[in-house]
Amino acid sequence: MEQLTSSGKITVSWHHRVLKCRDAFQAEGPALASLFQTEEGPSRVLIVIDAGLDAAQPELRANVMHWMQQHPEAVTPSGPPLIVLGGEQAKQDHVVFDQVVQAVHQRRICRQSYILAIGGGAMLDAVGLAAATAHRGVRLVRLPSTTLSQADAGVSVKNGINAFGAKNLIGTFAPPWAVINDATLLPTLDDVFWRGGLSEAVKVGLLKDPDLLTMIEESTSDLNNRDLDAMERIVTATANLHVNHIVSGGDPFEISRARPLDFGHWSAHQLEQMTGTRLSHGDAVGIGLLIDLQYAALELGASSALVNRVADCLASLGFPTHSDAMTDEDRLLEGIERFREHLGGKLAITMVTQPGLSMEIDQMDAHAVRQALRLVRSRGQERSLRAG
Amino acid sequence: MEQLTSSGKITVSWHHRVLKCRDAFQAEGPALASLFQTEEGPSRVLIVIDAGLDAAQPELRANVMHWMQQHPEAVTPSGPPLIVLGGEQAKQDHVVFDQVVQAVHQRRICRQSYILAIGGGAMLDAVGLAAATAHRGVRLVRLPSTTLSQADAGVSVKNGINAFGAKNLIGTFAPPWAVINDATLLPTLDDVFWRGGLSEAVKVGLLKDPDLLTMIEESTSDLNNRDLDAMERIVTATANLHVNHIVSGGDPFEISRARPLDFGHWSAHQLEQMTGTRLSHGDAVGIGLLIDLQYAALELGASSALVNRVADCLASLGFPTHSDAMTDEDRLLEGIERFREHLGGKLAITMVTQPGLSMEIDQMDAHAVRQALRLVRSRGQERSLRAG
């Protein structure tokens, strides 16, 4: 009955660029400016800054404006920086999204103009959705301001906000114009956010690069002493592995089901939800890794030594290795179902069995998960007692 | 100062499919069902129907549900059809968008599930944005229900809603999973919507296919007599030219500036705005074509005969060939500036000088535009007097 009248392949390409630097807006050289300059002259730029970062580094606003004034050949600010809520609040509803879309409209930002977004992962998620949808897409330059966002979300091609009580219910895949990882944004972070990216680094090391895992283990005291060079090395290595996965993984927009970088995340997301985000994402991921590794030790042949090694590493970096929320096993197990729904019907969980060696499973045995939860929790408690 | 740490090309491909049929949901064959069936079994489907269409064809809801019940191997309805506002109201704010996103969440529609949207262009735009952003993209099957949407927006890769008083301020580029042009949705349209797609057909004929223009001219009496075969032929030819432009035009997501299918649209959009959309999009495009053709006759060597030929064709199809809003020349001319802003900085307007022959200009002479407006208006008035 039906006839195909027209058909064809639509192919679109983007260039994904991640740069690193120090003091981005005090640089004399033209490298950063050249991101914005076009053949036709300077580009209009809407600057958006995370309120948390603005409070921690109050000189940043002036530095950005000063840098812009020094590069009139490349950039034209569309007005003073727009300061928006940071942290999970930024994506809790559409307030930040609306503020940015409205500014795009009022300040005459067009599809060839830029949004320069400086802030943490949640703020970049909300601003990124606005950039991806205002005029069907304005160019976005991200400066992630936390170790977690520099290592992970800030270099990703995703954005999103929460809606109707569901995390990241509204979002898009949209490659940024460029990402600039500026290490000088990091020293003002508190301890939780300073270590925040390191559990993702451990995760990516476990999945893809055993040398990164070793590098983290050898850097623990430097990292705990706030050595910026050490942090920059680990953040850069982690970010590069993420970018490589996006660029070479064959499915940058996750059109198929597998999402092999989500190791440890079904429980991390659920723990965040259960604790009302009192547990930071970085801390939750650390615990999530231990749960999945312990499961892999029980069911898939991973060694107990690996579980202990990772627990030692995380603990030495200041991460909690268990959470009281783990006692509510029933509710935590709902995270598996939620994750399945999020993926779309079929479950696909990546499990690490040795550093650098992973496999995908399509179901988890509930009994073994409960056992893993108890083991992780009792060892975490012992560790706390010893440390205490 | 800055160092590129990581970089790569992200390439994503989609298959763009347009099918035509009659009585889509009464078909016995498996062709439509096969769009939904996967190796793992049937897919969950959220059905969304335009309230205007639902009122005109009240049996449609039951037909869709009945069809689904007959194809359990392919589809699982997620509940009864969601009926949403149609017409420009659908995209005036985020009400329809929110309804669809909420239904996606409540009915457990995932990234491998489908939204089956049946309605006019504006409703498809709003539902399309919801489909493109809920869970960062749910598969969308569109059944456009007007001649305009079957010929144009319904087969496009765009969606959008209005915000802060700006048309299409929020939207994305998102190829649909499939588009099904079902001619049996068209006979219940009123005269304005029945002819609605024909001015776009005339436009595409002028730009790309002189034979289509001739086909329309030779079909006027059939079209005026509501001959469905004649309409389907013209809609199909127009839709195919649109799809071909998207697939082969080299810039499906309009990342560069040129948008060569926007001929006649700077004034059409402005006239719609000025008349509070009392002028339909189809009617506004007809007048917009005459304004740009007249300008091309004054400035770019197009013939007066072509202007008259197109005016005759449009008039014989029932289109108005002028509007009283054209007397407010200052305000109408603001449409050029708005169009420039929409494109991003640099103006690029496609002008037709002969059927099948177009050129791009980067500015319009205001004096000549005013002259064109007066000529189109006075000829339109003469024509009305003769007809009256």
Q: Which of A10, A18, A170 sits opposite B252 (nearest CB)?
A: A10
- Whether residues B168 and A136 touch (CB distance < 8 A) is answered with yes
Q: Where are the alpha helices (DSSP H) in chain A?
A: 51-56, 60-70, 95-106, 121-133, 147-151, 191-196, 198-208, 210-224, 228-248, 265-274, 281-299, 304-316, 329-343, 366-387
Question: Which residues of chain A have a CB within 8 Å of the CB of B259?
Answer: none
- pLDDT at residue A250 in the model: 85
Residue-by-residue DSSP string for B103-132? HHHHTT--TTSEEEEEE-HHHHHHHHHHHH
Does A175 sit within 8 Å of B248, measured CB to CB? Answer: no
Q: Which of A332-336, B2-6, B367-371 has the lowest mean pLDDT?
A: B2-6
**pLDDT score at B6:** 81
Distance from CA of A387 to the nearest CA of B (A): 39
Other residues' Cβ atoms within 10 Å of the Cβ of residue A134: 28
Q: Does the beta carbon of B62 lie under 8 angstroms from any beta carbon of chain A? A: no
Local structure of B78: helix, strand or coil: coil
Of A78, A52, A56, A55, the residue nearest A65 (C-alpha):
A78
Which of chain B's residues have a Cβ under 8 Å away from the Cβ of A10? 13-16, 157, 175, 246-247, 252
CB of A24 less than 8 A from some CB of B: yes
CB contact under 8 A, A113 and B5: no
Q: Do B21 and A12 touch (CB under 8 A)?
A: no
How many inter-chain contacts (A to B, CB under 8 Å) are there?
251
User: What are the CA-CA distances from residue A49 to residues A55, A58, A136, A263 (Å)?
Assistant: 10, 11, 22, 31
Higher pLDDT, A359 or A37: A359
Query: pLDDT above 90 covers what percent of chain B?
Result: 83
The answer to whether A12 contacts B346, with C-beta atoms less than 8 Å apart, is: no
Q: Choose among A18, A135, A158: nearest Cβ to B6.
A: A18
Q: How many CB atoms lie within 10 A of CB A147?
A: 29
Flag if A9 and B172 touch (Cβ within 8 Å). Answer: no
Domains of chain A are 18-185 (3.40.50.1970), 191-387 (1.20.1090.10)
Look at the block and give the residue holding tokens 């690029």.
B348
Least confident of A109-123, A331-345, B102-116, B299-313: A331-345
Residue B275, class by beta-carbon neighbours within 10 Å (0-12 exposed, 13-18 middle, 19+ buried)? middle
Residue A34 pLDDT exceeds 90:
no
To 5 degrees, how large is the angle CA B342–CA B345–CA B348?
A: 75
Q: Produce one character per residue of B174-209: b if its CB has 16 or more CB atoms within 10 Å, e if not.
A: bbbbbbbbbbbbbeebeeebbbbbbbbbbbbbbbbb
- ipTM surpassing 0.85, yes or no? yes
Confidence of residue A255 (pLDDT cuts 50, 70, 90): confident
- Determine the pLDDT at residue A258: 57
- Map tokens 């057909």 to a residue: B201
Q: What is the mean pLDDT of chain B?
A: 94
Interface of B with A in 168-207 (CB under 8 A): 168-173, 175, 180-181
User: Nearest CA of chain B to the CA of A160: how many Å?
Assistant: 8
From residue A241, give the alpha-carbon distance in Å to each of A142, A229, B367: 18, 18, 58
Residue of B nearest to A160 (CA): B136
Per-residue CA distances from B170 to A132, B134, B270 (Å):
9, 14, 19
A30 pLDDT tier (thresholds 50, 70, 90): low
B39: nearest CA partner in chain A = A346
Decide: helix, strand or coil at residue B258.
coil
Q: How many CA atoms are closer than 13 Å to the CA of A33, on its beta-carbon side? A: 21
CB contact under 8 A, A19 and B13: no
By C-alpha distance, the chain A residue nearest B99 is A164
- Smallest CA–CA distance from A130 into chain B, residue: B170
pLDDT, tens digit, 9 for 90 and up, residues A105-142: 999 999 889 999 999 999 999 999 999 999 999 999 99
pLDDT above 90: residue A40: no
Closest partner residue to B21 (CB to CB) among A3, A169, A240 is: A3
Q: Write out residues 143-162 of A within 8 Å (CB-CB) of B.
A: 155, 157-158, 160
> Model confidence over A75-114: pLDDT tens digits?
999 999 999 999 999 999 999 999 999 999 999 999 889 9
Q: Which two tokens stand for residue B152?
A: 């144009």
The answer to whether residue A75 neighbours chain B at the CB level (below 8 Å) is no
